[in-house]
Amino acid sequence: MADGPPIELVPEDGVPPPALPGTLVARDDADMAIDALLADLFIHARNCVRAFGDFHLAVSGVERLEPVLRRLLYDLNFRDFPWARTRVWPTDEACVPEGDPRNRFARLRDIILEHSGIPAEQMHRLHACDPAGPARYEAELRQHLGWREKGHDRLDFVMLDLREDGGIAGLSRGGGRAATGALVERRPAGPGEPDVVTMSLSFMNAARVVAVLATDGACRPALARLAPPLRDAALPAAGLTPLAGELRWYLDREACAAAGRA
């Protein structure tokens, strides 16, 4: 992980950062929070390649994480990222055709595959529109993680964004929990929205590192409801409790202050 203390600021209005579970990485602005996240990702990826020979990255292909992924590719500090030994797994996918702007694999492909040099077969696709897609995706996960010895057969790094409703990946409030042992699940959406297929909360909690970016006004209500005294256990993000890994939140000054004022 990156050097230095995890919290380096107190908002100017004197409001302390929210008391979130796990490790809080607070920075002055969103760009610095992204830099901190990528520094941790970079070090963790290289360590996993040395230890296991590969690196399994799960990421939500949503618009809010585009700046993170693009910086990973163009910032010279990360030019030695081990793409050749990395497998990329979408955490979630909308049940829409590939040409639909809501298709998340298309976003990941356009950002990563075309510019990183990662072998195409190491960038996995979740076919959400296919009824058999979730089962095939789960079989792929089990196959590739199964090459490792027992106890190390899990995702190395899960990158998520926090939504206004407290949702993460394809998980939204009121959706219930997946059956024990399920790696992926199909979730019905609200009116006018496509269904989604998502990694289950229990599977993401088994990862070595779960990193959540929350740096703009959209996440303010959720941050306030994730921290005491308003902590709402019904929010999907409240269920992030890694079993043998680490949960890390990456916030900027605005998010810290907004959560503290709520």
Tens digit of each residue's pLDDT (9 = 90 or more) over 163-194: 888 889 998 865 555 555 789 999 887 777 88
Q: Residues with Cβ < 8 Å from 68, sequence gap 6 or more?
A: 34, 37, 38, 159, 213
Strands 55-59 and 157-161: parallel
Specify the higher pLDDT residue, 1 or 144. 144
Tens digit of each residue's pLDDT (9 = 90 or more) over 23-68: 999 898 999 999 999 999 999 999 999 999 999 999 999 999 999 9
Q: Residues with Cβ < 8 Å from 179, sequence gap 6 or more?
A: 185
pLDDT score of 112: 95
Q: What are phi and psi of 108, to 5 degrees?
A: -60, -45
Tens digit of each residue's pLDDT (9 = 90 or more) over 245-260: 999 999 988 887 655 4
DSSP state of 244: S
Which CA distances in Å does 153 have to 145, 203, 240?
5, 11, 19
pLDDT score of 217: 67
Domain ranges of the chain: 23-247
pLDDT score of 227: 81
Cα 250 from Cα 231, distance rounded (Å): 18
Cα 123 from Cα 248, distance rounded (Å): 24
Q: Is the pLDDT of residue 3 over 60?
A: no
pLDDT (mean) for 129-138: 94
CATH architecture group of domain 23-247: 3-Layer(aba) Sandwich (3.40)
